[in-house]
Structure 1
Amino acid sequence: MKPGESITADVYCSELEEMMTKLAIKHPRLVTRDKPILLQDNARPHVAQATLLKLQEMELETLCHPAYSPDLAPTDYHFFQAYDQFLQGQIFNSQHVVENAFLRFIATRPPGFYADGIYKLPSRWQRCVDSMGAYFV
């Protein structure tokens, strides 16, 4: 997307299709199971009627995610935390330098990095239940 551009339900639906195409190539087992499960928050484009219809058409099951729950979102508690540490002390003077830093971050993640964030999810859900829904870090 271009800077300043907002994501719409139509854009999100296109992203879902692209994601499934790439998954079919890179990880076919994830696409051939009965119902792939998608974890997403309740942002407007994610819950729009067009998106819900697209998810149904693609036979994607969604895992409910409570609103405003960064402690339960792998991107927040795992990915962005690591990205923040990676960026510490760096100064950026152009969009190009920022993009290169992001690509460097992605390229330097160990093989199990993304799976680690997903595997932490059940224990984080349990912590949420144990804390009766209160936030934790």
Structure 2
Amino acid sequence: MSKRITPFASRYCSTLDRLKEAIRRKRPGLLRRGVMLQHDNATPHSANLTQQWLQRYRYGWEILHHPAHSPDMAPSDFHLFGPLNRHLGDVAFETEDDLIS
């Protein structure tokens, strides 16, 4: 991996810190069971600072690498997630079965 420095990497690491804290508060025990974090090869994700953060703080997180600009997400998907988030944004599911139903 090439050595890259980006001002966005420190901001991304701060976002990962907030994510880790939110998971700890909202889903107790999930950090111990494992978290899957999907990355593409965007510069903040592949920067040395981010890689160092992941090595130091991820606590067993599995990193799923995903190519940038992947065709897995069609442009139509972008029109799905906004309304879905507005519809379900305040909904909390107690169990996985509740989520599925």
Q: Give the TM-score normalised by the residue count of structure 2.
A: 0.66
* Count of residue pairs the alignment pairs up: 84
Aligned AA for 2:38? L
Aligned AA for 1:108? H
Q: Which residue matches 1:40?
A: 39
CA distance in 2, matches of 1:50, 1:63: 18
Is the 8 Å Cα contact of residues 45 and 51 (structure 1) preserved in structure 2? yes
CA distance in 2, matches of 1:72, 1:107: 20
Shift of 1:70: 4.1
CA distance in 2, matches of 1:14, 1:70: 28
Shift of 1:83: 4.1
CA gap of 1:37–1:77, structure 2 versus 1, over 3 A, is farther
Q: Give 1:82's match in structure 2, choosing from 80, 83, 94.
A: 80
Q: Which residue matches 2:85?
A: 106
Q: Which residue matches 1:66?
A: 67
CA distance in 2, matches of 1:11, 1:109: 27
Using CA pairs under 8 Å that are at least 6 residues apart, name the structure with larger relative contact order, 1 or 2.
Answer: 2
Q: Which residue matches 1:8?
A: 8
Aligned AA for 1:62? I
CA distance in 2, matches of 1:83, 1:66: 20
CA distance in 1, matches of 2:81, 2:38: 20
CA distance in 2, matches of 1:37, 1:77: 24
Which runs of no fewer than 5 residues in structure 1 stay unpaired? 1-6, 87-104, 116-137
Largest Rg, 1 or 2: 1
- Higher-helix-fraction structure: 1
Q: Which residue matches 1:20?
A: 20
Cα RMSD (Å) of the superposition?
A: 2.9
